[in-house]
Amino acid sequence: MGSKTSFDFDSNIDTALNDGQLRKNLRNAMDILVEKRRAIFPDSDQLQQLRAAGNAIKRRALKKLPQLLEQLEAKCTANGIHVHWAEDTSQANHIILEIMRRHEASAVVKGKSMVSEEMHLNRFLEAHGLEGVETDLGEFIIQLNHETPSHIIVPAIHKNKDEVAAIFHEKLTGTPYTEDVEELTAIARRTLRERFADAKVGLSGVNFAIAETGTLLLVENEGNGRMCTTVPDVHVAVMGLEKVVEKLSDVPPLLRLLTGSATGQLITTYINMISSPRKADEKDGPKEVHLVILDNGRSSILADPQLRQTLLCIRCGTCLNHCPVYVRIGGHAYGHVYPGPIGKILTPQMEGLEKAGVLATASSLCGACGEVCPVKIPIPDLIRRLRYESYDQEAAAVVDGGGYKKNFAETMVWKGWELANRSPLLNELGTRVAGAMGNHLPKVGPLKQWTSVRTAPRIARKSLHQRLRDEGVNHE
Amino acid sequence: MNSQLSNQTARQRILARLHASGTEQTDVPDAPLPSEISLAGDAKIERLAALMSAIRAEVYIVESDSWQDKLKQLARKRGWKRVLYGPQGPIGPEIESAWPADADDLPKLVAYTQPVESFKSELFQNIDVGITSTRGGVAETGAIALWPTPAEPRLLSLVPPVHVAVLDADTIYNSMTEMMAAERWTDGMPTNALFISGPSKTADIEFTLVFGVHGPKELIVLIRN
């Protein structure tokens, strides 16, 4: 059925499904990630206990969210970090623009940050004659090729090394063609070291912001995040407002869940905790640190007791890796910043159902995402909730664009269904007609579409009621 | 200033929405954490060494009073030319005393004592190795903890292609949680605190593991026991 979306999801899916290379790259990658996660959590009871603890920590943080954000602000400010609040992405972008202009910076070196993707910061900076330089290897590759990330954790996972080789050869002047991954990595190292040394402003995301101490915690393997937050004169961190946790002691279990779920690691190479700018006698580190706290619809999501569970997410990406839909179509097909199961519930709530509700239909409701989620977000339940909201069958719709799918024909069909199931006479008549004619319905319209990839069920000639009566069972 | 005004407005409006959301009325049951490991001294060293070695860190257990011998041995064998250190740091004097002025087969010691602004090109282009002390280690996950100081600045463990970290065996804790609590980290966090588990690495191209993408290509941990 034609839905009013700003992107053509169906056609994206078709394109992705018919791209053999993409499907092969994804299948290999996701199998590896799934296996690595399984290996790092060998004890299922312990994992369940850890997930329950992670869920409780994040729920406690959401319960206290307004106080924790104020406490974070107070602590950071006392530590010398400038705190900014942004209601939407445009405000957040302008805060960064103003900081860059004040420091006469023409470029910002960026660590990996999904919030900056959500802000479309690079595009915004470009429009103002400034440059956002991605420095995470995966992000660097796709930025060279003018693409966006296709995965939250491994942004260039849709590319194989031949494709990367071609991109480097073509886009980096003077680079010979090589498919050697070590050599490709060395090329990126050389290119980006110059950018780190020259940059006046560095940008990062935030994995956890600790209210108790006013600390911004970043998780990474490459070291580019440390570069971006240490070498330039100014460090700007951007975070969604749900990233705050209450205590430092909340962090270790969440880290264990995050790195285990994301990449199957016990710990990443670097856990980088930043609590202040360079102090008077220190030799390096940024002289200014800014924290931008972004809402962009999150406070509205918080208003619904069920839907607010979306904000428990720690962005590990494991729901993508385990999703039978994501594995087949990849991240770009979803047409939005956050792909996969988490994107299916987050994006429609941020953008409204009319624009993005179709994402919630791309699920077989197999339940894998809910089973693996390290903080126990009931993703399948939330997908069903959004589908329900799309039809607004009760007046309780809370998401923007609720009921956008409601239509006369479907409403009438359900009314008829209700009637037939309330009236024994109609029910009897209905099952008789279905038994006699159900298998001979002409395959047109929705039925034709539905049966194009499915076998239609055979309808029994006699209803169960009829058969019981024939066999003399007295059901009274 | 206009932007300050809009920042205040944004802040007030966001906080008002959060308060109005009803989230503060949620009931959140406590959930106990899984029990943590509890190892004896030697077992902690072994676990840390095994886990860090598995992700390509080089770990050597050395005598407390002659650890510099291992450092000099590595320096000669690998042909390091210029080694960066912090003279005022906890291990600065020990390094200096082990470095005879006339030994031309040893690398030159370079002191990180000036602000990075006047030292950046030297740091990025002419240093082979950075040596730091550590605050402690974590056996559970295999990691060292660093709190960079004015005497041992942040970039010492990041920019040089090789990072040598000196770790005292009796500062190895079972877990991150234990370390943070025992040392009362919440009393005052430093400008920057780090856990490091190995050399810089990436697997962004076809999951092929490559070391030294942005930070050190080698991490050498000398455990003084």
Two tokens at A259? 């790195």
Query: Would A229 be classed as within a structural domain?
Result: yes
State mean pLDDT over A110-129.
97
Residue A3 is predicted with a pLDDT of 42
Q: Flag if A155 and B215 touch (Cβ within 8 Å).
A: no
Q: Flag if A230 and B185 touch (Cβ within 8 Å).
A: no
Q: Which residues of A touch B20 (CB under 8 A)?
A: 303
Query: Would A280 be classed as within a structural domain?
Result: yes
Does A274 lie in the same domain as A131?
Answer: yes
Residue A54 is predicted with a pLDDT of 98
Q: Is the pLDDT of residue A23 over 70?
A: yes
- The phi and psi torsions of A447 (rounded to 5 degrees) equal -65, -40
Considering only A116-125, A389-398, B35-44, B117-126, which range has the smallest mean pLDDT?
A389-398
Two tokens at A371? 């089973």
Q: Flag if B18 and A53 touch (Cβ within 8 Å).
A: no
Domain final residue, candidates A281, A296, A311: A296
Residue A394 is predicted with a pLDDT of 64
What is the pLDDT confidence band of residue A402, given thresholds at 50, 70 and 90?
confident
Q: Which residues of B touch A192 (CB under 8 A)?
A: 214
Q: Which candidate from A25, A94, A212 shows the least CB-CB separation from B186?
A: A212
- The phi and psi torsions of A340 (rounded to 5 degrees) equal 65, -170
Q: What is the ipTM of this complex?
A: 0.97
Residue A469 is predicted with a pLDDT of 87
Integer CA distances (angstroms), A257 to A151, A273, A439, B199, in order = 18, 18, 51, 22
| Distance of residue B133 Cα from the nearest chain A Cα, in angstroms | 17
Q: Flag if B26 and A160 touch (Cβ within 8 Å).
A: no
State mean pLDDT over A226-243.
98
Residue B2 is predicted with a pLDDT of 66
Torsional sign, CA B153, B158, B159, B162: positive
Domain final residue, candidates A248, A275, A296: A296
Does A412 lie in the same domain as A292?
Answer: no
Q: For residue B191, what are the contacts with CB-CB under 8 A and spacing of at least 6?
A: A274, A275, A276, A277, A278, A279, A282, A285, B148, B154
Q: Is the pLDDT of residue A145 over 50?
A: yes
What is the pLDDT confidence band of residue A391, given thresholds at 50, 70 and 90?
confident
Query: Would A163 be classed as within a structural domain?
Result: yes
Q: Is the pLDDT of residue A2 over 50?
A: no
Tokens 């509700």 belong to residue: A357
The whole-angstrom separation of Cα A286 and Cα A235 is: 6
Residue A447 is predicted with a pLDDT of 83
Q: Flag if B194 and A222 touch (Cβ within 8 Å).
A: no
Does A105 lie in the same domain as A231?
Answer: yes
The whole-angstrom separation of Cα A199 and Cα A296 is: 28
DSSP per-residue letters across A417-431:
HHHHHH-HHHHHHHH
Does A280 lie in the same domain as A140?
Answer: yes
Q: Is the pLDDT of residue A322 over 90?
A: yes
DSSP per-residue letters across A19-85:
-HHHHHHHHHHHHHHHHHHHHH---HHHHHHHHHHHHHHHHHHHHTHHHHHHHHHHHHHHHTEEEEE
| Distance of residue B175 Cα from the nearest chain A Cα, in angstroms | 9
Q: How many CB pairs under 8 A join A and B?
A: 253
Q: Is the pLDDT of residue A384 over 60?
A: yes
Residue B30 is predicted with a pLDDT of 87
Residue B102 is predicted with a pLDDT of 76
Does A86 lie in the same domain as A223?
Answer: yes
Domain that residue A137 falls in: 41-296
What is the pLDDT confidence band of residue A4, given thresholds at 50, 70 and 90?
very low
State mean pLDDT over B144-152.
98
State mean pLDDT over A419-424.
92
DSSP per-residue letters across A274-313:
E-SS--TT-SSS-SEEEEEEE-TTHHHHTTSTTGGGGGG-
What is the pLDDT confidence band of residue B57, given thresholds at 50, 70 and 90?
very high
The whole-angstrom separation of Cα B178 and Cα B199 is: 24
Report the candidate in A447, A133, A94, A255 with the shortest Cα–Cα distance to residue B10.
A94
Two tokens at A395? 């007046």
Render pLDDT for B118-139 as a digit per residue (tens, 0 to 9).
999 999 999 999 999 999 999 9
Beta-carbon neighbour count of residue A266 at 10 Å?
17
Residue A393 is predicted with a pLDDT of 60
Which CATH number characterizes residue A65's domain? 3.40.50.10420
State mean pLDDT over B30-45.
93
Q: Flag if B191 and A197 touch (Cβ within 8 Å).
A: no
What is the pLDDT confidence band of residue A252, given thresholds at 50, 70 and 90?
very high
Fold of B38-202+220-224: Rossmann fold (3.40.50)
Using DSSP's 3-state secondary structure scheme, residue B163 falls into: strand
Q: For residue A73, what are the contacts with CB-CB under 8 A and spacing of at least 6?
A: A83, A293
Two tokens at A93? 């972008």
Which helix (DSSP H) or strand (DSSP E) does residue A92 occupy? helix A89-102
| Residue of A283, A291, A292 to mutate, testing the B interface (most B Cβ within 10 Å of its Cβ) | A283
Contact predicate B141/B110, CB 8 Å: no
Residue A6 is predicted with a pLDDT of 64
Q: Residue A215 burial (CB < 10 Å; 0-12/13-18/19+)?
A: buried
Which helix (DSSP H) or strand (DSSP E) does residue A144 occupy? helix A137-144
State mean pLDDT over A321-347.
97
The whole-angstrom separation of Cα A30 and Cα A157 is: 9
Q: Which candidate from A272, A277, A284 shows the least CB-CB separation from B116?
A: A284
Number of domains in chain A: 2
Tokens 């943590």 belong to residue: B36
Give how far the C-alpha of residue A2 lies from the chain's centroid of Cα atoms, to the nearest Å: 25
Query: Would A233 be classed as within a structural domain?
Result: yes
Query: Would A148 be classed as within a structural domain?
Result: yes
By CA distance, what is B116's nearest residue in A? A284
Q: Which residues of B touch A52 (CB under 8 A)?
A: 31
Residue A451 is predicted with a pLDDT of 86
The whole-angstrom separation of Cα A50 and Cα A58 is: 12
Domain final residue, candidates A273, A296, A319: A296
The whole-angstrom separation of Cα A344 and Cα A420 is: 34
Q: Is the pLDDT of residue B1 over 70?
A: no
* Angle formed at CA B115 by CA B114 and CA B116, multiple of 5 degrees: 115
State mean pLDDT over B170-184.
98
Residue A278 is predicted with a pLDDT of 98
State mean pLDDT over A236-263.
98
State mean pLDDT over A68-84.
98
Report the candidate in B212, B56, B123, B208 with the shortest Cα–Cα distance to residue A190.
B212
Residue A380 is predicted with a pLDDT of 98
What is the pLDDT confidence band of residue A475, given thresholds at 50, 70 and 90?
low
| Distance of residue B3 Cα from the nearest chain A Cα, in angstroms | 8
Q: Which residues of A touch B33 (CB under 8 A)?
A: 49-50, 53, 253
Q: Which candidate from A66, A141, A273 shows the least CB-CB separation from B189?
A: A273
The whole-angstrom separation of Cα A11 and Cα A9 is: 5
Query: Would A1 be classed as within a structural domain?
Result: no
Q: Is the pLDDT of residue A338 over 90?
A: yes
Q: Which candidate from A94, A253, A282 shows the least CB-CB separation from B150?
A: A282
Q: Hey, what's the torsion of the CAs at B195, B199, B205, B206, to 10 degrees?
A: -90
Q: Flag if B193 and A182 touch (Cβ within 8 Å).
A: no
Q: Is the pLDDT of residue A425 over 70?
A: yes
Q: Which candidate from A266, A270, A281 shows the least CB-CB separation from B194?
A: A270
State mean pLDDT over A132-147.
97
Give how far the C-alpha of residue A99 lies from the chain's centroid of Cα atoms, to the nearest Å: 28
Query: Would A334 be classed as within a structural domain?
Result: no
| Distance of residue B50 Cα from the nearest chain A Cα, in angstroms | 13
Q: Is the pLDDT of residue A71 over 80?
A: yes
Give how far the C-alpha of residue A7 lies from the chain's centroid of Cα atoms, to the nearest Å: 18
Q: Is the pLDDT of residue B33 over 80?
A: yes
Please give, one letter per residue, the 3-state secondary structure of A201-246. EEEECCCEEECCCCEEEEEECCCHHHHHHHCCCEEEEEEEHHHEEC
| Average pLDDT of chain A, as a whole number | 94
Phi/psi region, residue B28 (left: phi>0; alpha: psi -120 to 50; beta: rest), is: beta
| Residue of B113, B154, B180 to mutate, testing the A interface (most A Cβ within 10 Å of its Cβ) | B154
User: Which of B103 and A89 is assigned the larger pLDDT?
Assistant: A89
